[in-house]
Amino acid sequence: MAVVVNKPIPEFEAQATGGIKVTHQSHLGQILVLYFYPKDHTPGCTTEAMQFRDHYAEFVKTGAQVFGVSRDNLKSHEDFKAKLELPFELIADTEEKMCHMFGVVKNKIMYGKKVKGIERSTFLISPEGILLQEWRGIKVPGHVDEVLKAVKMLSKKAA
């Protein structure tokens, strides 16, 4: 089942760094930001992770939880998280279940070859588990600021 804006997110279960299990219900009561990225230790993904890291305290202040999601395994995620000193957890979607559910798997052309990759995307989920907003095919510069602005607006409405 795919995600639809203004509808509850479908059931899922995934492992994250720090030994955490994340499910469609594990963060009810909190604003949830899921950002999908192509690969650990690559330039764009490193920049995006560092921007979420640098604004993390502001996300937490609004009651939001942030998770990065990619197809990399937990070992790669743990290394990436430690190297960048990320204060949030990374979800290992090695079987692409979440990637397909959120519709971020896309055919891309890389070095003249067709490859299946992850389209950089972010999803904002309400404390009730409803998908409120999605950003797809995003460019890294300025994106985290845009997400934070949306989270702050949501937080004000809930207050």
User: In angstroms, how far is the first alpha carbon of the chain from the final one?
Assistant: 32
Catalytic residue among 3, 45, 99, 154: 45
The angle formed by the CA atoms of residues 33, 21 and 32, to the nearest 5 degrees, is 15
C-alpha neighbours within 13 Å on the C-beta side of residue 159:
9
Sequence-distant (≥ 6) Cβ neighbours of residue 139 within 8 angstroms = none
Q: Are 84 and 50 in contact (CB under 8 A)?
A: yes
Candidates 86, 101, 120, 121; CA nearest to 16 is 86
Sequence-distant (≥ 6) Cβ neighbours of residue 59 within 8 angstroms = 33, 52, 65, 66, 148, 151
Mapped onto helix, strand or coil, the DSSP state of residue 98 is helix
Q: Is 45 a catalytic residue?
A: yes
Active site residues: 45
